[in-house]
Structure 1
Amino acid sequence: MDNRAIYTSLKTGKRIYLRPIRPQDGLRLRESIANLSDQSRYYRFFSGMKNVPDSVLDRLLAVDGINHLAWGALDLAEHDLPAIGVVRVIRDPPTGVAELAIATLDAFHNTGLARIL
């Protein structure tokens, strides 16, 4: 397991914690996806689904550190450290082509979060 972590601040001064996504982050990811606006959810998943199917959540958590990398940004001001953003890259091994995806909660748009991720 990758134990790297980064503590930093957004341009608003809000302190955040960045770390690799872990298998036990399922509930945290499910809640943050549900908290995206319909438009942000559509831009990220090409779907308006508010409740993430388990099969999709399982794929989002299937990070191997080689072909599927994902880091989350957690809000240090909240006691349960909710996920406020995620960046991931998934590479197709045969072709080497990778896809990058970034999602941030709408309340964190224009705060520098996506750039940090």
Structure 2
Amino acid sequence: MCVPFRYYTKEKKVRLRFYVNLPKGSYKIKFTRAYVTHSKRIDPKLESEDALLEQKLLKHGYFEEIQKQYSWKDHWQTPKLRKEKLQTNSKLRDLKKYNIQDIINEEISWERN
């Protein structure tokens, strides 16, 4: 039942290992259904209180106030410096349409309709 297996190491030495070779019909793999191993009891009053606080946070103005108090950062919004940079880039793109002499002589009207 034991099968010898010869292999070379990094130092180029021959080593010998033995593996157990079991016949196919000697074992059977059995699958069982998963079941709950852990459970936790939660007080329903605590759950309702948590839900109430979550609802309050979703109201208009509450989240901003808490954000000011605890100085949380909202990473999903673009920062002010990035917004300013985007605005200046868009204005520069508009300026590239015109010749430099026209801009210097102020022949272009910057007013919007």
TM bin, normalised by shorter chain, reads: under 0.3
Q: Which has the higher strand share?
A: 1
TM-score normalized with structure 1 length:
0.18
Q: Which has the higher helix share?
A: 2
**Which structure is richer in relative contact order (CA contacts within 8 A, separation 6 or more)?**
1
Between structure 1 and structure 2, the one with the greater Rg is 2
TM-score normalized with structure 2 length:
0.19
